């Protein structure tokens, strides 16, 4: 009988940023008797200095900061309208705001001109522990302070939570009802120009392509995210959708850097049939096909979904097309790691997918 024990070699690695800051959070939580979310809030607000954070904690009374913003499963139209009309409460702290500490990266990410990205299917359709899992996402925004965030399987209450807690980000939604994709852009780093939603004509699952034109450090970027058709039997539709994505990437002006990320549900054989343009690279492949970043949907290590089988797939992918025009700054991928590998206090992971963190530097 096959063993379900995950060996050390099978376990995804955790980046240095997460290791060091998670250690501080664990220590803070042990001293104060709180949880990791409270710890991250105080540490981030106090430049990740333990003594200052503890002093701030014992002097303040911020219990309301971490109240549930929405009950699990609250998705009624009436509730949605109310939340759209609500303004952030006066005592709401932005868990993702810039600070000297949160702006600091690990030694490999000190260059201020690097572009950082998190791409994650947050599984908003699973309403169990949704509030705590949404806070888990905000925790990773604190840890990594990414410039760009691509999200899939958002639902309206999840978006309203993010709008309250991550006010240092501009949130672009790929839909309004049911479930959809979204982007988050760090306001101090990324300038938003315009966005559009491109439909997939034959989708049976309400899927589309969200496109945003932005600038970063004076460079033109075209950002794309999507959730391609799910399930093994939908390979033909999925490949149609991939062709739409790649056409957009290929046809972007030569002075524009193009970045796509999402839950593609792709199998390698499907990508081979479609074929990537020579100008487009798979970031995971470009960085050497590191084994610890291979599986983003892994029922061997992630038990959020109860399934009677082991499935390890690279559903979540990041594609990159550098600017080609002479004289235009060129970015290149230089780092990738998986995030969300630790269980939350509720005993579940932030999502049934691991998130992807990657960074890009001047070539």
User: What does the buried/exposed string (b/e) look like for 97-125 if buried means 16 or more CB atoms within 10 Å of the residue's CB?
Assistant: beeebbeebeeebeeeebbbbbbbbbbbe
If you ran DSSP here, which 8-state letter would residue 13 be given? P
pLDDT digits (tens, 9 = 90+) for 143-158: 999 999 999 999 999 9
Query: Does residue 193 sit in the same domain as residue 47?
Result: no
pLDDT-derived band at 267 (thresholds 50, 70, 90) equals very high
pLDDT-derived band at 264 (thresholds 50, 70, 90) equals very high
DSSP bridge partners of 221: 214, 257
CA 91, 17, 23, 338 dihedral sign is positive
Distance CA(337)–CA(109), nearest Å, equals: 13
Distance CA(203)–CA(189), nearest Å, equals: 34
Mean pLDDT to the nearest integer, 170-185: 95
What's the pTM?
Answer: 0.76
pLDDT of residue 94: 59
**Phi–psi pair at 13, nearest 5 degrees:** -80, 160
Mean pLDDT to the nearest integer, 328-334: 94
| pLDDT surpasses 90 at 307 | no
More confident: 233 or 112: 233
pLDDT of residue 256: 98
Query: Does residue 51 sit in the same domain as residue 178?
Result: no
Which residue, among 124, 116, 197, has the nearest Cα to 161 in the 3D structure? 124
The single residue of 69, 94, 147, 263 carrying the catalytic annotation is 263
Query: Does residue 328 sit in the same domain as residue 296?
Result: yes
Distance CA(298)–CA(341), nearest Å, equals: 11
In the predicted model, what is the mean pLDDT of the chain? 84
- In Å, what is the CA distance from 80 to each residue of 180, 286, 356, 357? 15, 42, 29, 30
In the block, tokens 């610890």 appear at 292
Query: Does residue 84 sit in the same domain as residue 53?
Result: no
Question: Is residue 112 flagged as an active site residue?
Answer: no
Say if 254 falls within a structural domain.
yes
Q: Average the pLDDT over each of 66-70, 75-79, 266-270, 356-360 and give the range with the smallest value.
A: 75-79
Say if 298 falls within a structural domain.
yes
Query: Does residue 119 sit in the same domain as residue 24?
Result: no
Query: Does residue 100 sit in the same domain as residue 29?
Result: no
CATH code for the domain in which residue 176 is found: 3.60.10.10
3-state percent breakdown (helix, strand, coil) of the chain, nearest 5 = 30, 25, 45
Say if 48 falls within a structural domain.
yes
More confident: 363 or 191: 191
Residue 328: both structure tokens together = 């235009």
DSSP bridge partners of 332: 361
Say if 6 falls within a structural domain.
no
Task: State what percent of residues in the chain have pLDDT above 90.
Answer: 65
pLDDT digits (tens, 9 = 90+) for 247-257: 999 999 999 99
| pLDDT surpasses 60 at 328 | yes
Query: Does residue 47 sit in the same domain as residue 104?
Result: no
pLDDT of residue 21: 83
Distance CA(260)–CA(251), nearest Å, equals: 14
pLDDT of residue 111: 66
The total of other beta-carbon atoms located within 10 Å of residue 37's CB is: 20
CATH code for the domain in which residue 62 is found: 1.10.8
pLDDT digits (tens, 9 = 90+) for 26-46: 777 766 667 788 888 888 888
Give residues with Cβ within 8 angstroms of 284, minimum separation 6: 290, 293, 294, 314, 317, 318, 336
pLDDT-derived band at 66 (thresholds 50, 70, 90) equals very low
Say if 5 falls within a structural domain.
no
The total of other beta-carbon atoms located within 10 Å of residue 241's CB is: 27
- In Å, what is the CA distance from 63 to each residue of 27, 34, 146, 341? 19, 10, 27, 27
pLDDT of residue 32: 63
More confident: 209 or 363: 209
Say if 350 falls within a structural domain.
yes
Query: Does residue 44 sit in the same domain as residue 134?
Result: no
Domain count along the chain: 2
Query: Does residue 320 sit in the same domain as residue 206?
Result: yes
Q: Judge whether 171 and 183 are in contact, CB under 8 Å.
A: yes
Distance CA(105)–CA(126), nearest Å, equals: 32
Residue 60: both structure tokens together = 């303040």
If you ran DSSP here, which 8-state letter would residue 216 be given? E
DSSP bridge partners of 220: 215, 256
Query: Does residue 41 sit in the same domain as residue 112?
Result: no
Q: Average the pLDDT over each of 44-53, 198-207, 278-287 and give the range with the smallest value.
A: 44-53
pLDDT digits (tens, 9 = 90+) for 198-244: 999 999 999 999 999 999 999 999 999 999 999 999 999 999 999 99
Which range marks the domain in which residue 43 is found?
16-66
Distance CA(169)–CA(196), nearest Å, equals: 18
Mean pLDDT to the nearest integer, 108-130: 86
pLDDT of residue 89: 40
């Amino acid at each position: 009988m096959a063993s379900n024990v995950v060996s050390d070699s099978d376990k995804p690695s955790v980046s240095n940023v997460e290791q060091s800051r998670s250690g501080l959070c664990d220590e803070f939580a042990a001293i104060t008797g709180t949880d990791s979310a409270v710890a991250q809030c105080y540490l981030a607000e106090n430049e990740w200095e333990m003594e200052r954070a503890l002093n701030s904690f014992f002097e303040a009374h911020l219990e309301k900061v971490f109240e549930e913003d929405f009950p699990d499963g609250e998705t009624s139209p009436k509730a949605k309208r109310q939340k759209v009309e609500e303004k952030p409460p006066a005592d709401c702290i932005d868990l993702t705001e810039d600070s000297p500490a949160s702006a600091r990266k690990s030694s490999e990410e000190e260059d201020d001109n690097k572009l950082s990205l998190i791409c994650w299917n947050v599984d908003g359709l699973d309403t169990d522990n949704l509030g705590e899992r949404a806070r888990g996402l905000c925790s990773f925004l604190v840890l990594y302070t990414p410039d760009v965030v691509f999200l899939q399987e958002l639902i309206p209450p999840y978006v309203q939570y993010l709008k309250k807690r991550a006010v240092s980000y501009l949130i672009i939604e790929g839909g309004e009802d049911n479930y959809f994709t979204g982007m988050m852009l760090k306001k101090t780093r990324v300038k938003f120009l315009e966005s559009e939603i491109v439909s997939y004509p034959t989708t049976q699952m309400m899927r589309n392509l969200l496109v945003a034109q932005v600038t970063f450090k004076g460079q033109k970027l075209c950002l794309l995210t999507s959730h391609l058709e799910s399930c093994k039997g939908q390979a033909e539709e999925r490949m149609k959708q991939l062709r739409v994505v790649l056409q957009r990437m290929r046809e972007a002006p030569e002075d524009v850097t193009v970045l796509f990320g999402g839950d593609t549900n792709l199998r390698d054989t499907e990508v081979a049939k479609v074929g990537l343009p020579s100008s487009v690279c798979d970031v995971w492949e470009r960085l050497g096909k590191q084994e610890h970043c291979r599986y983003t949907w892994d029922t061997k290590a992630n038990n959020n979904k109860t399934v009677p089988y082991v499935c390890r797939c690279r559903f979540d992918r990041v594609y990159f097309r550098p600017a080609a025009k002479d004289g235009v700054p060129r970015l290149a991928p230089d780092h990738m790691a998986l995030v969300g590998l630790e269980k939350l206090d509720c005993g579940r992971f932030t999502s049934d997918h691991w998130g992807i963190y990657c960074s890009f530097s001047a070539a």
